[in-house]
Amino acid sequence: MFWWTLWQLKMSGNKQIRENAAYKLGEYKGWLAIKALVSALKDSDRGVREWAAKALGKTGDTRAIEPLVAALKDSDWGARSGAAWALGKIGDARAIEPLVSALKDSNRDVRRKAAEALGKIGDARAIEPLVAALKDSELEVRECAAGVLHFLKWQPANDAQQAVLAVAGRKWDEAVRLGAAAVEPLVVALKDRGSVVRLSAAETLGKIRDARAVQPLLDLTKDSEIAGKAVHAMEHILRDAVASVATETLLAVADLAYVFQIQWQTDDCGGRSEIGEKKLDCWQLRQLARQELIRRGIQA
C-alpha cells in the first residue's frame, strides 16, 4: 500500500489522486515518505502542495522544518496556511521567527494558523508579536491571538493593552469600563468586515463618549449596515464632549442631513433577510453640532 501511494504522489497525472496520496503518506513516519512529501511541496498543483504540507505536519518529523518554512512563502495561501499548521503540529522552536513573519501575511487564514502554531510551540518569544496581532484587521485573527495569549498566561501591562485584549475578545462592557484607553482599538474595529463587530464597536464608542471617535463614526454614515448606530453614538458623544470635537468635524456633522439604514426581517428560524433601506433624519445630531459652532462664533 505504501509503495502504491508513493507512486501515485510522484507519477499520477491526476491532481486529485496526488492530493489523496499526499494525505495518506502523512500516516507513515519513514524517510521515504518525508522525502516524497517534501518534493510534493513543489508540485504544480496548489492543492497537492497544501496537503503535502499538512501531511508533513502529521508525521511530526523535524526534518520537515526547513522545507515547511520555505513553504510559508508559497504563492498560494492554502499552501502557506497548511505549512503554518504543520509547523505548529511539529512544535519545533526553529519555526518561531518564520511564523512570527507569517502573522503579517496578506491572507487572514494564514495569519490565524500562524498564531495557532505559535501557541502550540509555546515559546515566550511569540508573545510580543501576538500582542501586536490583537490589532489585526480581521476578527478571527484577533480572537485567535487573544486565545493564544491567554493560553500562554500573558497578562496586560497597562490599560492600553487590556483594552486591545478586550476589543479583540469582543468584551464590550470591559472596553466601556476602560474608557479612553479603548477608543483606539474600537476605532480599528469599526473597519471590521463583520457588521456585528462594527455595530458593537460603534455602540461601545457611544457609551464611552470620547470626542476622538466622532470623525471615525462620521465616516461610517455611508455604511448602510451601521449608519443609524453611528449617528446615535455621535449624539451621545456630542452631548458630553462636544467642546473637544474639532471644528472641521463639527461642520461636517452639521451638514449631515440624513443617512440610509438597512432594514432587516427575521424569519421563524431566526434567520435575517434584507427588506430595504430606511432614510433616517439626522436633525438632532445636526442641532448639537450647530449649537457648539454658534458658541464658537461660527455660523453653520
Residue 178 lies in a domain: yes
The confidence score (pLDDT) of residue 287 equals: 94
Spans in the chain with pLDDT lower than 50: none
Do 294 and 179 lie in one domain? The reply is yes
The confidence score (pLDDT) of residue 21 equals: 78
Last residue of a domain, which of 78, 107, 125?
Answer: 125
Do 107 and 173 lie in one domain? The reply is no
The confidence score (pLDDT) of residue 6 equals: 60
Do 121 and 175 lie in one domain? The reply is no
Taking the whole predicted model, whether its pTM rises above 0.85 is answered as no
Residue 136 lies in a domain: no
Residue 148 lies in a domain: no
Last residue of a domain, which of 104, 125, 146?
Answer: 125
Residue 203 lies in a domain: yes
Q: Which long-range contacts (CB under 8 A, 24 or more apart) does 95-99 make?
A: 95/65, 95/68, 95/69, 95/121, 96/121, 96/123, 96/125, 96/126, 98/69, 98/72, 99/72, 99/126
Residue 134 lies in a domain: no
The confidence score (pLDDT) of residue 295 equals: 94
Contacts of 79 (CB under 8 A, 6+ apart): 41, 46, 49, 50, 53, 71
CATH of the domain at 93: 1.25.10.10
Residue 187 lies in a domain: yes
Residue 152 lies in a domain: no
The confidence score (pLDDT) of residue 288 equals: 95
The C-alpha cell at 16 is 486529485
Q: Cell 451601521 maps to which residue? A: 226
Q: Into how many domains does the chain fold?
A: 2
Which domain range does residue 167 map to? 163-300
Do 287 and 168 lie in one domain? The reply is yes
Do 93 and 181 lie in one domain? The reply is no
